[in-house]
């Protein structure tokens, strides 16, 4: 069953989401923002301003998820203007960011991260990823710019929505099996095997 706003708020008070915004925020200091916070059946998390990386082409190299060369991912500068703080994801490229919020997922919940329509409408696709039962940390978020134009991706604003799916408690949680992405810090974490 998908969990609603009442359940999400109750669990956030127990530490499931921090920091937690108890309502959907669409304006900050009278400026429009890409919404974040609690919605009817989900929670929109924000992109951290601390780090964003973009895959770059290095002739003669192949990206290998079993042996990722960090040189293939270059840091992207955080820009600021009257619309807010943002990173630029070049056209037809792929980037990694990190969630501002820290999550601590209960043993009966799996979370799905889905893209926001505001970004989808400009060609920015958030990869659908799970946070399994018992997972905790800051999510590394994956984005693809499918458009032929560079795209801004705003820091400190909504970037993906989390859906909380409940089931019976699993036999072995992510924490119990010592999952390789447990306790991710607020920085991009590369693929691990």
Closest CA relative to residue 104, chosen from 130, 129, 137, 132: 137
* Phi, psi for 138 (deg, rounded to 5): -100, 125
The SS3 of residue 98 is strand
Respond yes or no: is residue 21 known to be catalytic: no
**DSSP of 8-35:** HHHHHHTTSEES--SS-EEEETTEEEEE
- Among 104, 142, 166, 186, which one carries the catalytic annotation? 142
DSSP tag of 148: S
The contacts of residue 147 (CB under 8 Å, 6+ apart) are: 91, 92, 122, 123, 124
Closest CA relative to residue 93, chosen from 44, 54, 123, 40: 54
Is beta strand 109-115 parallel, antiparallel or unpaired with respect to 158-166?
A: antiparallel
The SS3 of residue 189 is coil
- Residues acting as catalytic residues: 142
């Amino acid at each position: 069953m998908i969990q609603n706003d009442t359940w999400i708020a109750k669990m956030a008070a127990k530490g499931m989401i921090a920091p937690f915004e108890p309502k959907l925020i669409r304006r900050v200091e009278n400026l429009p923002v890409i919404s974040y916070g609690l919605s009817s059946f989900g929670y929109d998390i924000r992109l951290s301003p601390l780090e964003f990386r973009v895959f770059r082409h290095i002739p003669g190299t192949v990206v290998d998820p079993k042996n990722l060369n960090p040189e293939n991912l270059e840091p992207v500068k955080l820009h600021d203007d009257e619309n807010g703080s943002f990173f630029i994801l070049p056209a037809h490229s792929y980037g990694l960011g990190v969630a501002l919020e820290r999550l601590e997922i209960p043993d009966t919940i799996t979370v799905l991260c889905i893209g926001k329509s505001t970004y989808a409408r400009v060609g920015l696709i958030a990869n659908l990823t799970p946070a399994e039962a018992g997972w905790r940390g800051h999510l590394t978020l994956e984005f693809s710019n499918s458009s032929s134009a560079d795209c801004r991706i705003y820091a400190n604003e909504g970037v993906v929505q989390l859906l909380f799916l409940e089931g019976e408690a699993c036999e072995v949680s992510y924490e119990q099996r010592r999952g390789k992405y447990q306790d991710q810090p607020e920085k991009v974490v590369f693929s691990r095997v």
